[in-house]
Amino acid sequence: MTSSPIRTAVFPVAGLGTRFLPATKASPKEMLVVVDKPLIQYAVEEAHASGIENFIFVTSQGKTAIEDHFDVNHALEQVLEQRGKTSELAILRESQLAPGRSAFVRQQVPLGLGHAVWCARHLIGNQPFALILADDLVLADKPCLAQMMEAYQEVGGNVVAVMDVAAEHVNRYGILDIAQDNGPYVKAKGVVEKPSPGEAPSRTAIVGRYILQPEIFKILDQQQKGKGGEIQLTDSFPKLIAQAPFHGMRFIGQRFDCGLKEGWLEANLAFAYARPHLREHLLKSIEKYCK
């Protein structure tokens, strides 16, 4: 199946991050560090490694640190050059986005993920796009979005990353109502937002990676509010499913919910362990504090 290429990714970064107060009082939750990079940088690097060329950030008041992070810091670069810190300078420059490849748009009222995506509609236009939630961090040999790009070229339409969760956790996710399950790919006939265990049509849950067709914007234009009085992205999926194929892809990798302290802590351990030069010290530290 021939599918239009995905060149643009949207990053909703307008949330308040109240679970991490007071750390997020003056700093965006997306700037929480896992080992040595903020969550939003992991998300952008995943997108870039997957072929994304244009980066749209949906922000809110108090989120200028994200924009600054991906900008050029001339003063810092000059100091590093003067001190001969070439490796640090290279790391710094790797975090910069190319001129004209990033855009920042405000979500002025916190009306949910669907509303955040809708705020980017004029920048995306009539093209399919990727959507990445930075606090869903995935450790994988091949980037999760790159795996989804391959699936998208095969099945077309809309593709979301999914994983099977315990029955008692289905009320945390959007859950697929499955029409066909062939293992790696799941064709959906519906989606239910945060159902109770008894109401869940399956245990196959959507996590924070999406490839969506632009028809989503006409649905979101209706501004229909769902659970919590917010415009839920998941609520738009049934109408989207009626217009184009909608598949879940079981990705290969480990996902960490860094919107929770427990998930963020586990991510730090896993990503540190994946760095050979940190592994020995990490294991010694764990042994020390587990005695």
Give CATH superfamily name and number for 8-289.
Spore Coat Polysaccharide Biosynthesis Protein SpsA; Chain A (3.90.550.10)
**Encoding tokens for residue 47?**
């997108």
pTM over 0.75: yes
pLDDT for position 232 = 87
Q: Which of 256, 205, 210, 258 is closest to 17 using CA atoms?
A: 258
pLDDT for position 102 = 94
- CA dist 82 and 71 (Å) reads 20
| Low-confidence stretches of the chain (pLDDT beneath 50) | 1
Q: Which of 262, 225, 220 is closest to 10 using CA atoms?
A: 220
Do 114 and 231 contact (CB within 8 A), yes or no? yes
pLDDT for position 106 = 94
pLDDT for position 1 = 46
- CA dist 133 and 16 (Å) reads 14
